[in-house]
Structure 1
Amino acid sequence: MRIFAHAADLQNLRRTAEVLSMSQPAVTQAITRLEEELDCQLFDRNSAGSLMRPEGRVLARRTELMFQQIEAALGEFGVPVRRADTATYQITRSQIRALTEIARSISFADAARKAGLSTVALHRAARDLERNLGKQVFVAGQSGFVATRNAEQLARRLAVALREIDWAVDEIAQVRGHRGGTLRLGAMPLAGGFLLGRALDEIMRHYPAMHAVVHTADARELTTRLRRGDLDIVVGMNRPQLETDDVVQEPMVFSPFVVIARRDHPLTRKTEVSLDDLSEFDWIAPTFGSTRRGVFNSLFARMSKPPIPKVETNSLTTIRTLMSVSDRLTMITRFEFEFEHGVADFQILPFEQITEGNAIGVIQRRNWQPTALHLKFLDILRQQTT
């Protein structure tokens, strides 16, 4: 990648070899190997030089972004500027993989297994990384090396940098007419699931060869995965505390919460439902720590004996099943209710408006450069929430 970056800048393999103090055949061999791995031609070679093809321009842009992020991450880690400039091109994929797996794993042996390396090879890669950076990255733990706290941040930044090459591969395929690519998505319970199903169905009409991987978890877990590059986009409720220096939220629709019950519930026969009425029935409450749970708690905060829910879940399937066979109540946003055409056999109770609500939208990494597939998917989400 270092050789390609210089060749893309100079567009002349002979001059690239001179700058890197390499032989021209070695440079040519490296570029040829890269083209074989990508199954495409990156340059049109002639006597005047090597002009980049569209595929080459895509890879050059992503490669530049990758090296910029690596250099910035090393600078943030405290590597001196001059050394960081050199280390940016000396660091290897195996060294980054060693760091990221050690930072994520519960033991050194577990990290070696996940990295697909022997413990000896992982140890060597870890030590080589420390020599390249001239700083301590690992400390001895009970089960082998563990990353220092600052190194965990470095691991996250480097893992995101390497994803640029994955996106380059997708974009090169799209340049060549392949309507594919990969979406790595996070879906928060309820809100994320409501939006994702239809959006995925629509995006596959435009990109029939695409592949989507959807992970469902709570907001904190999904944001952690997003920050370390495992996910590209998280869909669900926006929360102020989730936004950090490297994560940004885009609200797409704001919707208040409503109380719902099955259609033949006793409270559906009333023209007006009071707080006392609601407290007489069992509730399916959101889990602790969620925005919904905060709204639920504040709704009954002024009561001396608020309802004590026997079930706490954010699973729509569980909620639907329990409510369809009982008089239990729950709370969702009006948007979720309307988006799912009334959530099957349930209806909104005539209870006073719950003024508290939250924005539903997406979370992305700040300054991220999405592919055309990502941009189209985001456009579909925006259209569906308009």
Structure 2
Amino acid sequence: MDGVIPNLKHLRACEAVLRTGSFSAAANEVFMSQPAVTQAVAKLEMVLGSVLFDRRPEGVFATDIGRLFVNRVGRMQHYLATGMAEIMRSARRQHGQTAKLHHLVTSVQLRALVAIAEAGNFSLAARSIGISQPSLHRAARDLEHLCAVPLFEKASSGILLTKLAEILVMNTKLALMELDQAYDEIEAWKGGRGGRVAIGSMPLARSAILPAAVNDLLGQAPDTRISIIDGPYRELLFALRHGDIDILIGALRDPVPVDDVVQERLFDDPLAIVARVNHPLMTKDNITLNDLAACAWIVPRRGAPTREYFETMFPDGGPRPQSVIVTGSLVLIRRLLSTSNQLTIISRHQIAQEEKYGELRRLPLALSDTERPIGITTRKGWSPTAIQRDFLSRLTDIGRRANEIW
């Protein structure tokens, strides 16, 4: 939500003008006077610094920027309608009563909702969007009254969202993301900044394909704003579904955990047991399970694919390592490995540079059935901007050449 959120009724009027090709027809559709629609479009053009429509005797025609903008407005309206549809179903309202409930919500109410969701506190939320606490509280309660279902619950830790509010927040953030993308597309069309790419990255991507793809993109579009968020899969998936990131890179899941994302496989990543170059097991011809169990290990948190494989290596009732450090920090893992006799199970791609410079090495032990599909996860129905498509193309190309590069 980096850009300004215009009056939502003005946005609907703008979309109606493009669809009908007439200010008067649009006015009838959005229940505004024709002068009010004309003024609404003029205000949007002033905010955007661009002409959206050519006014001619034979009609009103969208400019290239107008089509870009209104396309995003239409997608924005779709997300708002989807969120409100869940509210309608819960409230069991008659369809005719509130078929266009999303037309009644205001931009202030949407900003308040998202701010409360992110801050978990009315005063912090008000401060984050620059309005008074009474104003934010009023906007939140007006939205709750409009929806006719509870959206907020008081708790000792602050304000919690109800399940319906969480659905509404997700769709609201996706709607506002479409508006941000509209601003980026307009700036790019006018030859301005390169736009934004927000990436969620799991460990393998951070050490392998992501740096190459980012450098490749910045070499051609140095003004691109790139943000990279790391974290466990569950948190990154949540951020992707809520529009906080655009692309999630890392190990794919089978089955896909939710039905509103899509996965694209780039390459298969084999695992290896890794240690320092002079580890005592490096010279052993036949490494046994007892040898491995006698060593100290570094493993990721439960739920990670490598942790699952580690657990299958040492089933209950058999020999198991007595010393196990749990961490997901690659920096720490590499440092611990290089300065001790500890072992870890890790992607071969993740230690490619350390192998190249003689810092770490794979044990002479083949691991069966360890190849994991690595790829890209995006939102279903996502419409990337030009710079995001460019980055995806570079990422896909580098990812599919990963086995040649590393």
Q: Displacement, 1:103?
A: 3.2
1:261–1:54 Cα change, 3 Å: same
Q: Is the 8 A contact 2:298 2:344 kept in 1?
A: yes
1:192–1:99 Cα change, 3 Å: same
RMSD of aligned residue pairs (Cα, Å) = 2.4
Instruction: Report which stretch shifted further, 50-59 or 367-376.
Output: 367-376
Q: Which residue of 2 aligns with 1:176?
A: 190
Distance 2:219 2:285 in 1: 44
Any residues of structure 2 matched to 1:77-226 within 5 Å, and which?
Answer: 77-78=87-88, 80=93, 81-139=95-153, 141=155, 146-178=160-192, 180-226=194-240
Q: Which residue of 1 aligns with 2:343?
A: 329
Instruction: Report which stretch shifted further, 210-219 or 130-139.
Output: 130-139
Residue from 280, 285, 293 that aligns with 2:307:
293
Q: Displacement, 1:159?
A: 1.3
Q: Displacement, 1:92?
A: 1.5
Q: Displacement, 1:188?
A: 1.6
Q: Which residue of 1 aligns with 2:365?
A: 351
Distance 2:68 2:322 in 1: 57
Distance 1:188 1:172 in 2: 31
Residue from 78, 83, 100 that aligns with 1:68:
78
- Give unmatched runs, 5+ long, in structure 1: none
Q: Does 1:42 align with 2:52?
A: yes
Q: Does 1:342 align with 2:355?
A: yes
Q: Is the 8 A contact 1:285 1:309 kept in 2?
A: no
Instruction: Say which SS state the counterpart of residue 217 (structure 2) adopts.
Output: helix
Residue from 52, 56, 69 that aligns with 1:59:
69
Q: Is the 8 A contact 2:204 2:347 kept in 1?
A: no
Any residues of structure 2 matched to 1:229-308 within 5 Å, and which?
Answer: 229-240=243-254, 243-301=257-315, 304-308=318-322
Instruction: Say which SS state the counterpart of residue 184 (structure 1) adopts.
Output: strand
Instruction: Say which SS state the counterpart of residue 253 (structure 1) adopts.
Output: strand
Q: Displacement, 1:146?
A: 4.1
Per-residue CA deviations over 1:98-154 (Å, capped at 9, x if unaligned) read: 222333443333333334332211121112213433444334556776432222112
User: What percentage of residue pairs aligned between the two structures are identical?
Assistant: 34
TM-score, normalized by length of structure 2? Answer: 0.87
Q: Is the 8 A contact 2:115 2:129 kept in 1?
A: yes
Per-residue CA deviations over 1:7-45 (Å, capped at 9, x if unaligned) read: 111222243234434343322222122112112221122
Q: Which residue of 1 aligns with 2:35?
A: 25
TM-score, normalized by length of structure 1? Answer: 0.91
Instruction: Say which SS state the counterpart of residue 332 (structure 1) adopts.
Output: strand
Distance 1:170 1:342 in 2: 41
Distance 2:350 2:334 in 1: 13
Q: Does 1:315 align with 2:329?
A: yes
Distance 1:55 1:8 in 2: 12
Distance 2:45 2:363 in 1: 62
- Give unmatched runs, 5+ long, in structure 2: 1-10, 401-406
State the aligned residue count.
Answer: 385
Instruction: Say which SS state the counterpart of residue 271 (structure 2) adopts.
Output: strand
Q: Displacement, 1:355?
A: 1.7
Distance 1:268 1:40 in 2: 66
Distance 2:317 2:385 in 1: 51
1:109–1:306 Cα change, 3 Å: same
Distance 2:118 2:103 in 1: 24
